[in-house]
Structure 1
Amino acid sequence: MKIKVLIADDNSFIREGMKIILSSFEEFEVVATVEDGAQAVEYCRSHPVDVAMLDVRMPNMNGVEATRLIAMEELAKPLILTTFDDDEYVLDAVKSGAMGYLLKNNDPERIRDAIRSIYNGHRILQDIVLDKIKSNLASSASPAPSAPSAAGSDRIDRGSFTERELEIMSLIAKGLSNKEIAKRLFISEGTTANYITSILNKTGLEHRTQIAIYYLTGEVKLSDDE
C-alpha cells in the first residue's frame, strides 16, 4: 500500500517539482497539490491522506495553522517544508503538532526518508532546525528537556550530556543500531558514531552495551559480568 502524500505550497514550481520527485518513488502516491493551508485542511477532511507536506508561508492559512488543525483533528501526519527565512515559525510549528521540520534544499532521498519515517510515527527534525529551536529558547527561560522514559534514566547526570546525546542513549537502550538511530533522528551514521564517541568519553565506558546499561540503571558498569 502506497503512502498518500498531500503537497501544499503557494509556489507552483516547488509544488509541481515536489510532486514529480515524490512520484518517482514507487512507495508514494501524491494524492493532491494545493496552494494554501486552508485547501490542505479541507482536502484532508474529505480524503484519506497519510502525510501532509506543508510550506510555512502561504496565503489564506499558513502552514503552522494548517498543521495545528490537521494534527488536532488527526487528519494526517504534518511535515513542514521550510527555508532559512522561516526560522520564526519553527517553535510554533513543532508546538502545533508537526511531526517533522525539513529544509527544502534537501536531496530527494532525504525527503523520501523523512516522509517514510513520519508515516511510521517517528519525528524528524534536522540538526539545523534543532539549533534554531535551542537559539530561540536560549533567549528566554527554557524548560528542562523532558526526560526519556526509561527506568534509571532519572538518576543520570543529565547536565553532563546534550539533549541529542540523551536521545541517542535512549535509542541505544532500546536496541537500535547506529543505522537505525541515524534514520530515526535524520542524521548521518557518521554523526551518530561521533555522538556515541562523545558519550563514551564523558562516561568512561567502552562500548554501546555499557551505554545501554548506564542509561537503564543510572550506574556506570565497566564490566559485562552483570
Structure 2
Amino acid sequence: MTATPAPGTVRVLLADDHAAIRAGLRLLLDAADGVEVVGEAADGTAAVTNARALRPDVVLMDLRMPGTDGITATRAIVAEGLADVLVLTTFDLDEYVDGALRAGAAGFLLKTAEPTALVDAVRRVAAGDGVLAPEVTRRVLAQLSGGRAPARGPSPATTTTTDPAGRPDPRLAGLTPREVDVLGALGRGLSNQGIADELVITEATAKTHVSRVLAKLGVVSRMQAAIVARDAGLA
C-alpha cells in the first residue's frame, strides 16, 4: 500500500537517461524535508507518460535523452498542465537554455549546482517561482532585452506599455494596471515574495496575480512572461 504524502509535500518526477544520476537525485531529494520522489523516467516519452500517471508537482528534466528529448517532453508536459518543469542539465549552451524556456520550463539549473541549491530550486518551482542558474542568468536577461545589459526596473513614472515605435502593445490590452505592475516585476526576475514586497501585498495575492497575467497573455511560464514584459518596455 502506497503511503499518502504529507500535506505540503513537493512530489517530484526524475527524468534522466543515466540510472546512477537518478539514484543520486533520489537520495538527495528524499532526504530533504517536504520533498518526495514519486517516480523516474529514462527518456522523454516515459517522462510524459509518467507525468500523466503520477501528476507530480515538479519534473526534474534532463535535456539530452534518447528518443524524445527533454525539450520536447517539457513542451508536452507544460502544454497539458501536468506539472512544472525544472531543467537539470550538464549543458548551458544558448540553444538549450532558449529551447527549454520557450518550451515552458519554469527553471534551468546545471548539474554542478550545490545540493542545497537544487533542493531550494525544486521548492521554489513548486511554489510558483522561476529559477535560473547563476551561470546563465545574465546571458538570458541580456537576450531578453535585445542584447543589452540587464537593467533595473523603471520607476512607476517611466513605466510604459508601448512598443519601440510608440504603439500600445496589444498583448497587454487585457491587463489591469496592477497586473501590468506584476508583469514588469516578472520581467525583472522577481519571485512571488519579491513581487509581494514591492507591491505591498501578500505572497498569496502576488501568486494569484501572476497566474492571471500568464493566463491573459497566453503564456505558460514566468520566463515567457518576462519576454513579453521586456518586449513591451516594462523591464
Please indicate the TM-score interval, normalised by the length of the shorter structure.
0.5 to 0.7
Give the superposition deviation at 1:152: 3.8
Change (3 A) 1:83 1:27: same
Residue number in structure 2 paired with 1:187: none
CA contact (8 A) 2:92 2:110 kept: no
Counterpart of 1:49, as a letter, is: P
- Could you tell me how far apart the structure 1 residues matched to 2:137 and 2:52 are? 31
TM, length-normalised to structure 1: 0.63
Residue number in structure 1 paired with 2:70: 63
Where 1:81 maps in the other structure, the secondary structure is: strand
Give the superposition deviation at 1:127: 2.6
Where 1:84 maps in the other structure, the secondary structure is: coil
- Could you tell me how far apart the structure 2 residues matched to 1:43 and 1:165 are? 32
Please give the residue correspondences for 1:150-189 in structure 2 after superposition, counting only pairs within 5 Å: 151-152=156-157, 154=159, 166-167=188-189, 171=195, 173-175=198-200
Change (3 A) 1:11 1:126: same
Aligned length: 166
1:46 to 53, 61, 70: 53
Change (3 A) 1:20 1:87: farther
Counterpart of 2:130, as a letter, is: R
- Could you tell me how far apart the structure 2 residues matched to 1:132 and 1:10 are? 28
Residue number in structure 2 paired with 1:32: 39
Q: CA RMSD in A?
A: 3.4
Give the superposition deviation at 1:132: 3.7
Does residue 80 of the first structure (1) align with residue 87 of the second (2)? yes
- Could you tell me how far apart the structure 1 residues matched to 2:12 and 2:61 are? 10
TM, length-normalised to structure 2: 0.61
- Could you tell me how far apart the structure 2 residues matched to 1:104 and 1:48 are? 24
Structure of greater Rg? 1
- Could you tell me how far apart the structure 1 residues matched to 2:134 and 2:156 are? 27
Counterpart of 1:120, as a letter, is: A
Where 2:56 maps in the other structure, the secondary structure is: coil
Give the superposition deviation at 1:167: 4.5
**Structure 1 spans left out of the alignment, 5+ residues:** 156-162, 177-226
Residue number in structure 2 paired with 1:193: none
Listed one character per residue, the Cα deviations across residues 177-221 of structure 1 (whole Å, up to 9, x for unaligned) are xxxxxxxxxxxxxxxxxxxxxxxxxxxxxxxxxxxxxxxxxxxxx
**Structure 2 spans left out of the alignment, 5+ residues:** 1-6, 161-184, 202-235
Identity %: 35
Give the superposition deviation at 1:142: 5.9
Listed one character per residue, the Cα deviations across residues 10-40 of structure 1 (whole Å, up to 9, x for unaligned) are 1111111111110111311100111011100
